Amino acid sequence: MSQLPSDLLYTKDHEWVRLHGDGTATIGITNYAQESLGDITFVEFPDTGSTFDAGETFGVVESVKAASDLYMPLSAEIIECNAVADDAPELLNSDPYGEGWLLKVKLTQDCQADDLLESTAYAELI
């Protein structure tokens, strides 16, 4: 297993969240998720401006092995989808914590990060 970035928060559904301190966050899938899926071939992104509650499905990632729903870790409005990953979904395999991010969002509720896992707790989960 690769090293988990300690500056991120994680969900039990294998998404990660990078909080930016200005009410926005970046969201992606974990290395564990991309390894479990295998070679990723397609990502279904939501529309910019869409809003989701924490736990709602916001998209799908497809691989040669399976398709898997993506779940919104925090209640948020979509402000940007990763157009590079849309064109090159293999970035989710090669750089899941960097260029393979999925969404940038504006948080719509405070204090939901308490429901997310720190890297040590996520490491124990996987």
97 vs 114: CA distance, rounded Å: 21
Show the domain range for 57. 9-113
User: What is the domain-level CATH number for residue 28?
Assistant: 2.40.50.100
Range of weakest confidence among 31-35, 40-44, 58-62, 110-114: 110-114
CB atoms within 10 A of CB 29: 26
Determine the pLDDT at residue 109. Answer: 83
- Give domain status of residue 124, yes or no: no
37-70 confidence digits (pLDDT tens): 999 999 999 999 999 999 999 999 999 989 999 9
